[in-house]
Amino acid sequence: MPRNAVVPARTAVLPILVIVAGLALVIPRLNRTSDLDEIRAEEDSVECGDLPGECATPSPEGLRTERTLRAADVCPRSGYLCVELAERDTFRIRRWTDGVSGLVVHVPAPDFEDAAPSRELHRAAVRGVKAWDGQPFAITVDERGRLDADVTVTWQRQLPGTRLGVTELQWSPTQGLRVQALRVATRSPHDAQRILDPLQIQLTTAHEMGHALGLLHSDSERDVMYPTNTATSLSAQDYRTMEALYSLENGLLVVRN
């Protein structure tokens, strides 16, 4: 549980949404590929689609009984927050709860790699996580595992397919967002003998940390949250979208019309 989270007096038994997001890139010279992150949403173990939105479009009756806002009132000043509406009629605001004022992120070294590259990849991952410090709240990086972590970066030599990073999230109306896993590969998906460049690790970790904070994908190559990220720093759109996400009510349903 987050260090600074407010614990509700009562917790209702409600469905929990599980989101899996992964970054897939072509490795040589950090070139981009047409492969996008594979994002899957599951609720009660039922696959819901390719994007972490709703398992099904809410019924008109459901829309009348829950808090909704029209896209026209939300999207114009919200960066890429509403990109999902290009493919579906609604999306839900899913983020950490208002009681959270900071996160502890444990970033260990990939100790299965040799000492020199392990140190370089470790430092790069720390830089990627710290890119979001203050956006929207303080991020404390714990490199030695001495603190109770809200998020833990775990390393693998390779991930399935061409993915370089995977973030697994849970969200519920009462508990908000929780990170189940944030995994980063140390080696090329095309060559198991090749250790990734530290810059690639920084880009991947920054992208996955954005998912861990609640952001989905951008539609602009200039943004860290573009599916095949090559941005070395947060863009104005990244900042604007994060601000919009945390200014809206957690669980709010945004509808196209």
What is the per-residue pLDDT across 201-230, written as a single tens digit (0 to 9) for each?
999 999 999 999 999 999 999 999 999 999
Q: Is residue 113 part of a domain?
A: yes
Judge whether 1 lies within some domain. Answer: no
**Residue 198 counted as domain residue:** yes
Establish if 229 belongs to a structural domain: yes
Task: Answer with the residue of higher pLDDT: 12 or 22.
Answer: 22
Per the structure, the complete domain to which residue 84 belongs is given by 17-255
Residue 5 lies in a domain: no
Q: Is residue 34 part of a domain?
A: yes
Q: Residue 128: inside a domain, yes or no?
A: yes
pTM above 0.85, yes or no: no
pLDDT of 42 strictly over 50: no
Q: What's the confidence (pLDDT) of residue 104?
A: 99
Q: Total domain count for the chain?
A: 1
Q: Does position 80 have pLDDT exceeding 80, yes or no?
A: yes
Inside any domain, residue 8: no
Query: Domain with 105 in it: what CATH number?
Result: 3.40.390.10
| Exposed e or buried b per residue across 190-224, where buried means at least 16 C-beta atoms within 10 angstroms of its C-beta | eeeeebbbbebbbbbbbbbbbbbbbbbbbeeeebb
| DSSP conformation letters of 117-152 | HHHHHHHHHHHHHHTTTTSSSEEEEESSS-S--SEE
Across all residues in the chain, what is the average pLDDT?
A: 82
Residue 175 is predicted with a pLDDT of: 92
Q: Which helix (H) or strand (E) holds 153?
A: strand 151-156
